[in-house]
């Protein structure tokens, strides 16, 4: 056993990631991540040079005064939105374009969004919160992108400093996924879950499942546990909100949901759990 005189030295010897041990991994990932960062819509802004106020002509000073007054009014009238993080929120195009790769354990899977395919396809109304919009896009690799956005512009599944919401109860990070990978245990029904904890605004806890059906013909998605249904929109996309007990309570007493998709004839054609009862 090594004898050391300082516990910091003892700790250093027990470093789970010794210095230099990630060099190869970091080098391998650097270019991909850097490309993603470069594509960020919110490009680094150039710092503006500051001219001397008293050195400007009179018309310029007036213009600056007017601009300052307008800026103050704008700041005051939009303070609430600012506090809510709305201005930190990326646009849907930016969000999907800069999504970080999914990782199934065998390495990152990059997806490149098709810009023209980005659109809002549906929304659900959550009491005390308002509408939650479902944004969807396709990827050049044949995958799909999903993101849930509150009416103040914030995205569920993102941290506050990146435009997230204090009402976010946890869940999937918005982004793009290759078809057939996100839910390997399922049968043509791929879904993400995001939760809203609206208790701080007098509401309740909600689980929102959104996803895509990867076989043609689906018209309705139903949760067989609660009986709640929703229509399939835009050909193969769905969003379903279900009020639920707060899962932060020990034992997680949220009901185990089981989604199935029906075709026009009422036949189950997709399921999130092939071996579960009901499809």
Partner 1 sequence: VTETSDSDRLEAIFREHYEAVLAYARRRAPAEVADDVAAETFAIAWRKAGQIPREPLPWLLGVARRVLSTQRRSTQRRTRLRQRLLQTAEPMPIDTVDARLGEALSRLSERDREALLLVAWEGLAPREAATVVGLTQTGFSVRLHRARRRLRAALERADTPASAAVADHSPLTRGEAR
| Residues that bind partner 1 in the complex, under the rule CB under 8 A | 1-12, 14-17, 19, 21-23, 25-26, 29-30, 33-34, 36-38, 40, 42-47, 88, 98, 100, 102-105, 157, 159-162, 168-173, 181-183, 185, 192-193, 195, 247-248
Q: How far is the CB of 15 from partner 1 (least distance, A)?
A: 5
Our CB check for partner 1 shows the closer of 197 and 261 to be 197
Our CB check for partner 1 shows the closer of 210 and 262 to be 210
Among 121, 123, 127, smallest CA distance to 243 is for 127
Q: Are 32 and 101 in contact (CB under 8 A)?
A: yes
Q: How far is the CB of 192 from partner 1 (least distance, A)?
A: 7
Q: Are 205 and 245 in contact (CB under 8 A)?
A: yes
Per DSSP, what are the bridge partners of residue 70?
A: none
The C-alpha atoms of residue 76 and residue 73 are separated, in whole angstroms, by 5
Q: How far is the CB of 31 from partner 1 (least distance, A)?
A: 10
The C-alpha atoms of residue 111 and residue 39 are separated, in whole angstroms, by 13
Q: Are 177 and 210 in contact (CB under 8 A)?
A: no
Q: How far is the CB of 215 from partner 1 (least distance, A)?
A: 21
The C-alpha atoms of residue 79 and residue 161 are separated, in whole angstroms, by 17
Q: How far is the CB of 265 from partner 1 (least distance, A)?
A: 31
The tokens describing 95, both together, are 């969000």
Our CB check for partner 1 shows the closer of 135 and 262 to be 135
Our CB check for partner 1 shows the closer of 32 and 216 to be 32
Q: How far is the CB of 51 from partner 1 (least distance, A)?
A: 15
Among 205, 216, 234, smallest CA distance to 270 is for 216
Among 231, 240, 185, smallest CA distance to 207 is for 240
Our CB check for partner 1 shows the closer of 29 and 258 to be 29
Our CB check for partner 1 shows the closer of 86 and 219 to be 86
H or E element in which residue 66 lies: helix 58-77
CB neighbour list of residue 230: distance below 8 Å, 6 or more residues apart:
124, 220, 221, 222, 238, 239, 240
Q: How far is the CB of 182 from partner 1 (least distance, A)?
A: 7
């Amino acid at each position: 056993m090594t004898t050391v005189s300082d516990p910091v030295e003892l700790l250093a010897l027990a470093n789970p990631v010794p210095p230099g041990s990630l060099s190869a991994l970091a080098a391998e990932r650097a270019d991909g991540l850097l490309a993603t960062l470069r594509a960020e819509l919110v490009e680094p802004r150039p710092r503006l040079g500051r001219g001397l106020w008293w050195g400007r002509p009179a018309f310029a000073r007036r213009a600056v005064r007017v601009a300052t007054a307008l800026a103050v009014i704008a700041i005051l009238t939009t303070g609430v939105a600012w506090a809510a993080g709305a201005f930190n929120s990326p646009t849907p195009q930016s969000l999907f374009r800069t999504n970080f790769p999914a990782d199934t354990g065998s390495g990152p899977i990059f997806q490149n969004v098709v810009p023209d395919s980005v659109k809002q396809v549906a929304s659900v109304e959550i009491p005390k919160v308002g509408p939650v919009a479902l944004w969807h896009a396709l990827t050049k690799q044949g995958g799909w992108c999903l993101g849930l956005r509150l009416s103040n512009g914030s995205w569920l599944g993102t941290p506050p400093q990146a435009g997230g919401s204090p009402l976010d109860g946890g869940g999937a990070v918005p982004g793009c996924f290759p078809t057939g990978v996100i839910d390997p245990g399922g049968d043509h029904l791929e879904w993400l879950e995001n939760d809203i904890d609206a208790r701080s605004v007098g509401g309740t806890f909600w689980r929102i499942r959104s996803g895509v059906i990867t076989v043609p013909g689906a018209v309705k998605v139903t949760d067989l546990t609660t009986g709640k249904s929703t229509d399939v929109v835009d050909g193969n996309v769905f969003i379903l909100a279900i009020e639920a007990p707060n899962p932060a309570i020990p034992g997680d007493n949220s009901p185990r949901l089981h989604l199935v998709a029906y075709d026009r004839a009422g036949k189950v054609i997709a399921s999130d759990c092939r071996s579960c009862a009901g499809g």
